[in-house]
Structures are given as C-alpha cells and as structure tokens.
Amino acid sequence: MPKQSDTIITWFKSLQDSICHSLEQLDGSGESFREDLWDRDGGGGGRTRIFKGDLIEKGGVNFSAVHGQMPEKIASQLGLKENNFLATGVSIVLHSKSPHIPIIHMNVRYFETDQGDWWFGGGIDVTPHYIIEEQAKQFHQHLKSVCDQHHPDYYTKYKEWADNYFFIKHRDETRGIGGIFFDRLNSDINTLECNHAFVKAVGSAFIPIYTELVTANREKKVEAKDTAWQSIRRGRYVEFNLVWDRGTKFGLDTNGRTESILMSLPPMAEWHYAYSPDDNALALKTQSLLKKGIDWVNYS
C-alpha cells in the first residue's frame, strides 16, 4: 500500500495536469504551458508551469513537494519541534488580459512531519478589476455548495477567514471579493481521508468557477479607461502579495525559488499618487465594495 503522502502528492500532480490542460483549451490561442522542473537544496522540488496566451496574459500553475530537515525558524513559527517535514501543494494565479475578467488565485496544500503532525490548507479567492455583484454572488454560492457537502460550518468559517486574510491593511480594503481560506485542517472528528476529500473538492472546483467567470465576461469591449483601472488594481495586487501575503514572505525569506513564488505578480502594474477613477462609475462602485463582511451568498 502506498504511503498516504504519496497518494496526496500524486493527486496534486494530476490536479496540476488537468487544470493546465483545461486552461489551454479555455484560452484558445493554441499556446501551451512552459514547464520548468526544479530541485530544492535539502530535498524535493517542483514543476513550475507558466502560461501566456490570448485570454490569460500571465498565469502560473505550480506544483511542488519539498521535504527535509525543518529550519529552526520555521519550526518555531509553526510551534513545532525541529523535525523532518514534507510540504506539497498546487498554487495558481491567473492574470487575464481583459480588465473585465477577474484575477483568480487558488492554493491547496498538505503538510506533515515525522512526529505525526499533519494538516491541509488552501482556498480560492477572486479579485475582479470590476466587481459585478451578480457574479460575486454566484461565485460565493458555488463555494458554499462545495463546502456544504463536507461540513455545515466550513463556508461561514472559511469565508470569514478569506475576508481577513486577503486584506490590504494599509489601504483599508480587501484584495477583491474574497472566497474561502483555510489552514491547519486536521479535524478531530474526521479522518485524513475526509479532509483530503474536501481539499480535492476545492481543487476540482477551480476550472468550473474560472470558466464561468471567463464566459460571462470575455466578449465585453475594453476601453482605455478599463485598462487604466486594471493597472491600478494590479498595483494593489502587488502591494498585497509583497507586503502582507504570508506565503510569499515565507517563501522569499526561506530561499524559495523566487521566479516560482513571484509568478503571482501581474505582467505590469501602475502607481499614481492619490489616484481616483473619477470618470469611471463601475470603478468607483468596485472601490465601495472592497470591504470585509459582505454576505455575498444572500446579496440582493
């Protein structure tokens, strides 16, 4: 019988494969993902896959599985004794060319030590350049239905966690419309298999969710004011990822593979002093909706 962690790693790899295949189809440009295989000093490595097409201006779908002796600093941050660890997962960020299609992010991950500690983590969140309320509602209803099939508390708890996590404190605004975020999922009442089933369901929801967002928005006409606003929102995405995102900071601080970590940054971004999109009603509306605690599922 294979080790449990081998089963999880195999599943993450197959998730990366199927998502890459689906995205190539959805993009429709005929472009393929570029793959870079890399090894980590100390153990393990990854498959970084990067895409540039017609629909997706810059996207990364990364798999990694790293293992070895845990650095003392990390053990102390996690509240663990020094030991051998395994960390594996899939991370995705897609920057669409059209300002009408949201930026999307997904991460699913698994961690274990040779002392018997283990947990899952992950989430999906969406950063529309323009928030369309009906689409935000559908997105959250989709996530709720995924969560509800596994635990009645998951959606409420993980939606709130995402609101708090994807928050740009120095702007007092959320990164987007949130989604779900969870960490250290290791239920007393459930088994590892049950927790893995939830993580699989989250991973499998990515393509249907993104396809819905793309289909609803890809034919919309792009004007100069839309592209200008997109550049500003991309700047905020950079600010979140470099200033506040714990995953990014952790990676950069522990000599992770920089190009794989920073695939999350947009192809370009702009910063203008005290920018306000005064001529753009939908941008102003979007700004007003970048806050925590909106009950999107019941939004009306």
* Number of neighbouring beta carbons within 10 Å of residue 236: 20
Residue 257, both tokens? 């593979």
Locus of tokens 């997109």: 230
Q: Which of 6, 36, 114, 223 binds its own copies (CB under 8 A)?
A: 36
Selection from 58, 45, 49, 57 nearest residue 20 by Cα: 49
Count of positions (residues) in the chain: 300
- Residue 105 falls in the annotated catalytic set: yes
Of residues 222-241, which lie at the interface with its own copies (CB under 8 A)?
231, 235, 238-239
Of residues 67, 105, 129, 196, which has the active-site annotation?
105
Is 170 a binding residue for its own copies by CB under 8 A? The answer is yes
Binding of residue 57 to its own copies (CB under 8 A): no
Member of 98, 102, 266, 290 binding its own copies (CB under 8 A):
266
Distance (Å) of CA 214 to CA 178, 193, 221, 223, 249? 17, 33, 14, 18, 30
Smallest distance, its own copies to C-beta of residue 207, A = 22
Verify binding: residue 242, its own copies, rule CB under 8 A. yes
Least gap, CB of 169 to its own copies (angstroms): 7
Exactly one of 74, 78, 80, 269 binds its own copies (CB under 8 A); that residue is 269
Whole-angstrom distance, CA of residue 266 vs CA of residue 269: 7
The only residue of 259, 279, 288, 291 in contact with its own copies, by rule CB under 8 A: 259
Which of residues 3, 34, 246, 285 is near its own copies by CB under 8 A? Answer: 34
C-alpha distance from residue 176 to each of 65, 67, 75, 126, 167 (Å): 29, 33, 32, 6, 8
| Least distance from its own copies to the Cβ atom of residue 241, Å | 9
When asked if residue 270 is in the footprint of its own copies (CB under 8 A), the reply is yes
Whether the Cβ atoms of residue 104 and residue 210 lie closer than 8 Å to each other: yes
β-bridge partners, 69: 84
243 CB neighbour count, 10 Å cutoff: 13
State which of positions 75-114 bind its own copies (CB under 8 A). none
* Token pair recorded at residue 145: 């239905």
For its own copies, give the closer residue by CB, 128 or 256: 256
- Active-site residues: which are they? 105
Binding site for its own copies (CB under 8 A): 34, 36, 50, 58, 60, 169-171, 231, 235, 238-239, 242-243, 249, 252, 255-256, 258-259, 261-263, 265-274
